[in-house]
Chain A
């Protein structure tokens, strides 16, 4: 049975349902599954809980699901770059749960690794610790955080082989590897699908067991802050 689908829409077909929890990889706009997000929007489902470090920007990435009001709730660490997000949040249309970035990453890793909860010192004494179990280890107070799972993970990798063995490129890896492990169905979009054997088995970042559906896409790869330096002229 092939894991390869012909388009982002085909890869999502039959899966999205109202009220689902979706994980979406990326940091800012770097390493986001941009075509799968469009396909999810076009599926028309609503009432979604979206777990993603950020919320996209107006008109791109997860900003699209906000504009169409398909997102009911977000679990994120930082949502600074999105006016529509701010409007919906302040008017009470959108629910938001902030997690410290490392706690969010570890909750997703734990969810995929069959670990229901873990203790961390991150957030002790802050709003994040409210209503959470506290426990001291070696005289240091920690709080209990729970693992996170999703119905569908949408992730972006650089290359996949036909088995769904994935490699990521540079800082576009970020949240994608953990999210690949933490959902009932993981869909990956890649820049290139290669035959089995073309990737070095010693250098696979995400083994194919975590990947259910693969689609090859073309990407805009929008840049949020283009910063450069000048070449010194001799």
Chain B
């Protein structure tokens, strides 16, 4: 039984630590907010200019001036603050955010990430992704292990145009979890398997080289 979308969010939430400032990407990463452990203090940053992002508002509290980076309406918390886009990315670029959890199209063995552009298809833009992976202290990718046509997204080298070079620290897929040696040239390290997934299954679906170091 490979991990579902929600299982992936639960697993990614294990990367949170007390006191962390965290930026969550669109899609599965957004779901991580639902799994912050009870009693742990985690502050969510939204790159359009907010720290201390609250949950979706009640119907009668919807405010067009209060949205997240996915342009969804959200709510304010007592500890929230607002700021400009340049201040927001000063925080990101300056290394003040502890953790970025984001989606990917491809990740390579040395931590290269591709998640913004497929040549020949309409390109929507990189938004804040390049800034986040370049500036945030730790980057965790959450994605399906294979693309819809069954090709591995965990590669020796990315085929798609990159979002960043040697930026990914940890890869969480529906099949398992890999540690990335982004500073060196070592193989990936498979550190966890999703329940019921075999090493053979991971091997046959992974193009990148990896060693096995299950706890």
Contacts and interface: CB of A to CB of B under 8 A. Distances in A.
B212 interface: no
B73 A102 contact: no
A123 B130 contact: yes
Given A174-B49, A226-B62, A98 B122 contact: no
Contact of B88 (A105, A124, A125): A105
B72 A102 contact: no
A109 B86 contact: yes
Interface stretch (A15-23, A42-50, A77-85, A210-218): A77-85
A123 B85 contact: no
A19 B170 CA distance: 47
Residue from B46, B47, B123, B124 having most chain A Cβ neighbours under 10 A: B124
Contact of B56 (A29, A125, A169, A229): A229
Interface in A117-171: 120-128, 158, 168-171
A169 B134 contact: no
Contact of B134 (A124, A158, A172, A174): A124
Interface residues of A, number: 58
A126 to B, nearest CB: 5
A229 B123 CA distance: 32
A225 interface: yes
Contacts of A176: 84
B195 interface: no
Contact of B84 (A128, A175, A222): A175
A100 interface: yes
B50 interface: yes
A96 B66 CA distance: 28
A98 to B, nearest CB: 5
A108 B84 CA distance: 12
A102 B125 contact: no
A170 B82 contact: yes
A30 interface: yes
B20 interface: no
B62 A77 contact: no
B57 interface: yes
Interface string B33-69: 0000000000000111110000111110011111110
Interface of A: 27-31, 53, 76-81, 86, 89-90, 98, 100-106, 108-109, 120-128, 158, 168-178, 205, 221-231
Given A27-B48, A105-B86, A223-B73, 10 more contacts: A27-B49, A101-B128, A102-B86, A103-B89, A103-B131, A106-B90, A122-B93, A122-B130, A175-B85, A226-B72
24 contacts: A28-B71, A30-B48, A31-B65, A78-B124, A80-B125, A100-B126, A100-B129, A100-B131, A102-B92, A103-B130, A105-B86, A122-B131, A125-B165, A126-B161, A128-B126, A169-B65, A171-B65, A171-B68, A174-B48, A175-B85, A178-B86, A223-B67, A225-B72, A228-B73
A-B pairs, top 8 by smallest CB distance, nearest first, are: A102-B89, A102-B131, A125-B165, A221-B64, A78-B125, A80-B124, A100-B130, A105-B85
